[in-house]
Amino acid sequence: MPGNAQLISDIEALLAAAKSYDADQSDRPARLDLLGRIEALHYQLEDPAEAMFRQITNYTQTAAVRALLQMGVLAKIPRNGSITAKELASGSGMNEEVLIRLMRVLTATGIIDPVGEDVYAHTRFSLAYLDGAEVEFFELCVDEVSPVAQRLPEYLATHDSSSILNPKQSPYSWASNREGKVFYEVLLEYPDRLARFDKAMTTQEAALPVLGMFPFSSLASSMDRSDPQRPFIVDVAGGRGQSLLQIKKEIEANGTADVGRMILQDRKPVLDAIPEEQLPGVEKMVINFFEPQPVKNAHVYYLRRILHNWQDKECQVILKNIADAMAPDSRLLIGEMVVPEKPEGVDKTVYWMDLCMLIIGGKERSKKEFSDLLASAGLELVKIWTSKSGSQTVIETRLK
42 catalytically annotated: no
What amino acid is encoded at 98 in this protein?
V
Torsion, Cα 137 138 143 148, to 10 degrees, reads 90
* HSE of 301, CA atoms in CB hemisphere, 13 A: 30
Burial (CB count within 10 angstroms: exposed 0-12, middle 13-18, buried 19+), residue 8: exposed
Question: Helices in the chain by DSSP H: which ranges?
Answer: 4-19, 28-45, 48-70, 73-76, 85-92, 96-108, 124-131, 135-140, 146-150, 152-158, 171-175, 183-188, 191-207, 219-222, 242-253, 268-272, 312-325, 349-360, 367-376
Asked whether the beta carbons of 172 and 186 are under 8 A apart, the reply is yes
Q: Kindly give, in sequence order, each residue whose CB lies less than 8 Å from that of residue 273, ignoring residues fewer than 6 positions away.
A: 240
Q: Pick the catalytic residue from 42, 122, 299, 308.
A: 308
Q: Kindly give, in sequence order, each residue whose CB lies less than 8 Å from that of residue 111, ignoring residues fewer than 6 positions away.
A: 61, 65, 123, 125, 126
CB atoms within 10 A of CB 58: 11
The residues that bridge with 233 in the sheet, in sequence order, are 262, 300
Helix (H, G, I), strand (E, B) or coil at 206: helix
The residues that bridge with 337 in the sheet, in sequence order, are 392
Asked whether the beta carbons of 300 and 244 are under 8 A apart, the reply is no
The residues annotated as belonging to the active site are 308
